[in-house]
């Protein structure tokens, strides 16, 4: 098949991206011209992925189109992601995406950072029939964003990336948002969910934390099942810090927000000590929350970002609202 012709050619550039930070900083990946189509239930071919290499000899850079086959995988919570097949041996998946069928899928451009896959078959299974192969009963259109660290395409309509460089700091991503029918408790308000390390998945969002407490966390927000728009309401993103708050502004922590269809990511960095926080509290070892922004989703799916940039002092993780 044609896709095998490209696998090993593409591996060279992919290896450079994975293996060397210096090289990775010289590359950008562009999906604005990408075209994809389903090859089988668990594989999709995506062509014309633009890799731009910046060279001192070519100020505008050199763009090389690549064509890759991706395997359909899912996280342990059920969210889909696409993993490139770079060798003759298929890559490892957390779980097999048995409920998704990409056989008749095709792509739609979503700009530089991601791609939309349309006509994904969703299977249902007969519990009374052992080894039932599943029957496609509906179709969905899903958005995926490229992750330069893992080279995966992650399912999300809104992606939020938290990074920091200071090892003295201990940050955690928190997202609160609308949850119809939810009762209030110590962890969240009534009809609100609270996504963080103790509750890493619900029907509209997932928290991805690397093993070993790495200095990176991602939050993915996606529409409820069988819908194409996010659940209406207010989503609030907060970064909580267990340690001394005096290190936050100098920790290199930053938050990047990407909304499907946007050509650019939005970057947030923490403010220095705000005027409304007493210096006595600010310089002590109180836990602190940096309330970064709110995402307001209207009934018609329109999204508006409201920067907050506020600190809350002496807040424990379950108390983040």
pLDDT computed for residue 39 by the predictor: 96
CA distances from 190 to 32, 154, 298, 318 (A): 41, 30, 20, 14
Q: What percent of the chain has pLDDT over 90?
A: 46
pLDDT computed for residue 321 by the predictor: 87
> CA nearest 145: which of 251, 64, 235, 218?
218
Class of domain 158-319: mainly beta
pLDDT computed for residue 42 by the predictor: 95
User: Which helix (H) or strand (E) element contains residue 3?
Assistant: helix 2-19
What are the structure tokens assigned to 1, written together?
């098949």
Whether residue 283 contacts residue 304, with contact meaning beta carbons closer than 8 Å, is answered with: no
- Whether pLDDT at 7 is above 70: no
Q: What is the pLDDT of residues 130-166, one digit of tens each?
A: 666 677 788 999 999 999 888 999 999 999 999 987 6
Q: What is the domain partition of the chain in residue ranges?
A: 2-152, 158-319
Whether residue 252 contacts residue 164, with contact meaning beta carbons closer than 8 Å, is answered with: yes
Average model confidence (pLDDT) across the chain: 83
- Whether pLDDT at 274 is above 60: no
- Whether pLDDT at 6 is above 70: no
183 confidence band (pLDDT: 50, 70, 90): confident
279 confidence band (pLDDT: 50, 70, 90): low
pLDDT computed for residue 12 by the predictor: 46
Q: What is the pLDDT of residues 239-259, one digit of tens each?
A: 998 765 556 777 788 999 999
**Per-position DSSP letters for 39-92, written without gaps between them:** EETTEEEEEEEEEEEEETTEEEEEEEEEEEEEEEEE-TTS-EEEEE--SSSPPP
Look up residue 5 and give its DSSP letter: H
Whether residue 39 contacts residue 90, with contact meaning beta carbons closer than 8 Å, is answered with: no
Tell me which of 40-44, 68-72, 174-178, 262-266 is least confident: 262-266
Q: What is the pLDDT of residues 20-46, one digit of tens each?
A: 434 445 678 899 999 999 999 999 999
19 confidence band (pLDDT: 50, 70, 90): very low
pLDDT computed for residue 314 by the predictor: 81
Average pLDDT of 160-179?
87
> Other CB atoms closer than 10 Å to residue 317's CB: what's the count?
17
Average pLDDT of 104-121?
93
Cα separation of 41 and 221, whole Å?
A: 24
- Whether pLDDT at 310 is above 70: yes
Q: What is the pLDDT of residues 47-83, one digit of tens each?
A: 999 988 777 777 777 788 889 999 999 998 889 999 9
Cα separation of 312 and 315, whole Å?
A: 7
- Whether pLDDT at 278 is above 90: no
């Amino acid at each position: 098949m044609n896709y095998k012709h490209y696998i090993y050619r593409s591996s060279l550039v992919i290896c450079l991206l994975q293996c060397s930070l210096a090289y990775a900083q010289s590359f950008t990946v562009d999906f604005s011209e990408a075209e994809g189509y389903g090859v089988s239930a668990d594989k999709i071919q995506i062509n014309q992925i633009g890799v731009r290499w910046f060279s001192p000899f070519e100020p505008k850079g050199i763009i090389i189109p690549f064509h890759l086959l991706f395997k359909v995988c899912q996280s342990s919570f059920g969210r889909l992601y696409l993993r490139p097949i770079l060798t003759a041996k298929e890559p490892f998946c957390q779980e097999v995406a048995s409920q998704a069928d990409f056989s008749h899928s095709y792509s739609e451009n979503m700009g530089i950072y991601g791609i939309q896959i349309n006509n994904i078959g969703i299977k249902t299974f007969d519990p009374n029939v052992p080894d039932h192969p599943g029957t496609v009963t509906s179709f969905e259109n899903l958005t995926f964003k490229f992750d330069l660290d893992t080279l995966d395409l992650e399912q999300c309509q809104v992606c939020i990336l938290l990074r920091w460089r200071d090892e003295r700091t201990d940050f955690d991503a928190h997202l609160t948002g609308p949850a119809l029918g939810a009762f209030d408790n110590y962890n969240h308000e009534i009809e609100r969910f609270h996504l963080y390390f103790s509750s890493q998945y619900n029907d509209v969002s997932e928290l991805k934390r690397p093993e070993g407490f790495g200095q990176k966390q991602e939050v993915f927000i996606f529409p409820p099942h069988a819908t194409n728009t996010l659940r209406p309401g207010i989503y609030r993103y907060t970064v909580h810090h267990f340690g001394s708050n005096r290190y936050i502004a100098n920790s290199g922590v930053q938050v990047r927000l990407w909304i499907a269809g946007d050509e650019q990511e939005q970057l947030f960095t923490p403010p220095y000590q705000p005027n409304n926080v007493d210096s006595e509290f600010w310089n002590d070892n109180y836990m602190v929350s940096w309330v970064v922004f709110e995402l307001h989703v209207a009934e018609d799916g329109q999204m508006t970002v409201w920067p907050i940039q506020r600190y809350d002092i002496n807040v424990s993780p379950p108390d983040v609202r």
